[in-house]
Chain A
Amino acid sequence: MVTLAAPAKSDRRRPPPPGTGPADRAVARPGLGWALPATLFFALFAIVPLLLVAVLSFASWGGIGAPEFVGLDNWVTLLHDPVMIKSLWLSVLLTALGVVTQTPLSILLGVWAAGPQRNRAVLSAIFFVPLLLSATAVSVLWRALLDPNFGVPAQARWLFGDGNLLGSRTGAIAVLVLVGTWQFTPLHTLIYQGATRAIPEVLYQAAAIDGAGTVRQFFHITLPQLRNSVITSVILMVVGGLTTFDTVLILTQGGPGTETTISAFYMYQKAFKSFDFGAGAAIALLLVIVATMISLIVVRLSGYDRMASPKEGL
């Protein structure tokens, strides 16, 4: 139903900014009170701990005894830590690879699944299942599947060679991207599936009259109409990609060496393997800052945070 409202509005001219139109004054607007319970709740259980993390990033603390204030030490050490620099780069690389792989795939699958045939509905249901499994389960499954001696690589030596996937840099990164894609494509597919459904039929009919084929329709109508969905989906991918660590923990443990030690995993290692909670806190904070900056940029560019419907921009 929500999606049905879209066709009528999509080609509309931009309405006046909120608060200036005559009708706008009469419309009941919710006050801040409506946001208050959620905001307070969120502040108490997420922002307060986050602030404590910020404080901790200026302290040296091993979990026992009292934290000791050390000023900028953690930050200075981190900025000179080659593993840290490398891990940030790796995080960005893995996230980018994830976005690049998952976006086209989920757009294609989403557009395909939006068709009305019943077999597509059944397949879509199967496609959805990976989303239901916990990251631990997903990682254990894929390890078994990719075992060099008993899994798929052993059956396809011509393709995998000795099957040392997780023991080489390229192989390990490829596996992480593949597993992430397997796990999260269903979510993004659904986003695109819904958005495709909402594209006005008239656009396609007009194109068909002009003699445009399926491929041209896809590039000239479907893709441009999916712009907003791409934004939402990319935000979720970026944030998800930067904060993944459990698949790394179980699949590669950051190895070989430090070749897949992404920042979120490095934070976990520092805090819970080396019990250097100060350094862990600093990395955590750095990640939060980077991820927030990227999502804010995406949001700002897309106008997603404007008060009214995002369709105004079209």
Chain B
Amino acid sequence: MSLRARFPRSVAGGVALALALGLAACGGGGGSAGGAAEFHVLVYGDAANKVEKEIVATFNKTSDVKAVLDTVPGADYQQKLQTIINTPQAPDVFFNWGGGSIQPFVKAGLLLPLDELGPDAAGLETKFLPSVFDTAAVDGKAYGVPMRGTQPVLLFHHRKVLADAGVQPPRTWDELLAAVKKLKAEGITPIALGGGDQWPTLMWFEYLYDRIAGPELLKKALAGDKSVWESADSRKALSMLKQLVDAGAFGTNYDSVKFTDGGSPALLASGKAAFELMGSWEFSTQQDANPDFATKDLGYSAFPTVAGGKGDPAAVVGNTNNFYSVLKKTKHAEHIAKFLKLMYSDDFVKAQLAIGNLPTTTNTEKFLASADNAEYLKYQFDMVDRAPSFQLSWDQAYLQTNATPLHQAVQQFFNGQTDADGFIKAMQSLSTS
């Protein structure tokens, strides 16, 4: 047996190696535990981290207490945050979406209201657009500082496809229905929809409900009044959505298409579809994936108005911004206050604009003219600035525990698995406290 006797040595060697590696790992990874003169900032890890890194570097130049930026791969950010938030491993400052995403943490007494951060944080609220700043308030107290860009939802379109079909960007719901009919006759999918992601479908509900019933309906629903879902306004919105779906506005295979993997943006860019209702990031997505289309043919307009609707036609739906919130357990509140002040510095605004984000500070406006895509940014800024209300996406306004049933209800209503009554029942079963 020629193959014997090799193993004892290799096993012994292996043990030695394991010990060595173990020790090396212990030596290498222990850095973050000490933390006497630093605070940790946990952010959603993605392409926008560039600015966050720059700001942290700027801060660390002048501060003796250093900020340490930890990034968590995006899709799993929430899972990670929830696991560590109430443990000694929790960060000092963390990224969030305002609204329902921080409400449980506030209720559990984990977060520090901004007005308790010390004198440096005084007057923070005057530096940001109020409709945005307010989305991170819980029970009247502010808990978050806007730290990226605002993302209103717009109705994007393919200019050439519309022109060829003789269609104008619709100003009213009836014009939209007429456009759908015309485009369909031309063999074009009227509206691209990434139904596989589920949240793009939700945007249609958010805008239509806002146009028909105004922002009060959701405000009441979030406060625990479940009867609003049975109201005449609610039923009207649902029947109009049904009408749109049944008219073939989205084609038939929208649930197999996703926005996140580039499916629905490609539909729009290739001219196979004419419209897409999407957050303002559609623009940068198209610039990266289809630069020719983005410069030549990508048009945008506000969501159509609905005749007889109670909602203000200037009202906006979308993601107000992302926020930094501070944990109560932090030992460096006054340094963090100084750090948060950087979120409305001129450098911050310029850096955000440079990567295509639209900050929501009051000093943003003076930098808009010199930014890339100035026209597009100005359009959005004015839209948000003038909006009487800015409805946060439902899946972020509600407690995050509701995201799955909410998305399912929306998808099932669109594909016909449930009817209006089923949808209403699903919305009523969401928890609000």
Contacts and interface: CB of A to CB of B under 8 A. Distances in A.
B251 A162 contact: yes
B168 interface: no
Contact of B196 (A65, A163, A166): A166
Contact of B401 (A1, A164, A274): A274
A253 to B, nearest CB: 7
Nearest to B83: A63
A150 B195 CA distance: 16
A253 B199 CA distance: 12
A256 B86 contact: no
A167 B415 CA distance: 8
Interface of chain A, helix or strand or loop or mixed? Answer: loop
Contacts of B258: 143
Nearest to A261: B408
B110 interface: yes
A147 interface: yes
B256 A147 contact: yes
A258 interface: yes
A148 B257 contact: yes
B79 interface: yes
Contact of A167 (B197, B255, B261): B255
B3 interface: yes
A82 to B, nearest CB: 13
Interface in B210-262: 251-258, 261
B82 interface: yes
The secondary structure that dominates the B interface is: helix
B411 to A, nearest CB: 6
A149 B263 contact: yes
B267 interface: yes
A272 interface: yes
B253 A150 contact: no
Contacts of B3: 1
Contacts of A255: 196, 198, 255, 408, 411
A165 interface: yes
A145 B179 CA distance: 31
Interface in A77-113: none
A256 B417 CA distance: 9
B255 A275 contact: no
Given A143-B261, A149-B267, A257 B417 contact: yes
Contacts, number: 98
B403 interface: yes
B400 A140 contact: no
B253 A65 contact: no
Contacts of A275: 82, 104, 400-401
Contact of B255 (A62, A65, A166, A254): A166
A64 interface: yes
Interface in A143-198: 143-144, 146-150, 162-168, 171
Contacts of B267: 149
A269 B408 CA distance: 12
A269 B404 contact: yes
B105 interface: yes
A63 B85 CA distance: 8
A257 B86 CA distance: 33
Question: Of residues B105, B272, B401, which shows the largest number of chain A Cβ atoms within 10 Å of its Cβ?
Answer: B401
A253 B251 contact: no
A4 B401 CA distance: 57
B108 A64 contact: yes
Contacts of A150: 263, 266
A147 B266 CA distance: 11
B256 A165 contact: yes
B429 interface: no
Contacts of B104: 62, 64, 275
Contact of A253 (B78, B85, B108, B198): B198
Nearest to A150: B266
B196 A253 contact: yes
A161 B412 CA distance: 21
Nearest to A169: B417
A148 B400 contact: no
Contact of A164 (B78, B85, B108, B255): B255
Contacts of B78: 272
A146 B404 contact: no
A59 to B, nearest CB: 15
Contact of A64 (B105, B197, B412): B105
A101 B399 CA distance: 42
A269 B400 CA distance: 11
Nearest to A163: B253
Interface of B: 3, 78-79, 82-83, 85-86, 104-105, 108, 110, 195-198, 251-258, 261, 263, 266-267, 272, 400-404, 407-408, 411-412, 415, 417-418
Given A150-B266, A253-B197, A273-B403, 13 more contacts: A63-B82, A64-B86, A65-B108, A147-B256, A148-B257, A149-B267, A150-B263, A252-B196, A256-B255, A256-B417, A257-B408, A272-B79, A273-B404
13 contacts: A63-B85, A64-B82, A64-B85, A147-B257, A149-B267, A164-B252, A167-B256, A254-B408, A255-B196, A256-B255, A257-B412, A272-B78, A273-B400
- The 5 A-B residue pairs whose C-beta atoms are closest, nearest first, are A167-B255, A164-B253, A166-B256, A148-B253, A64-B86
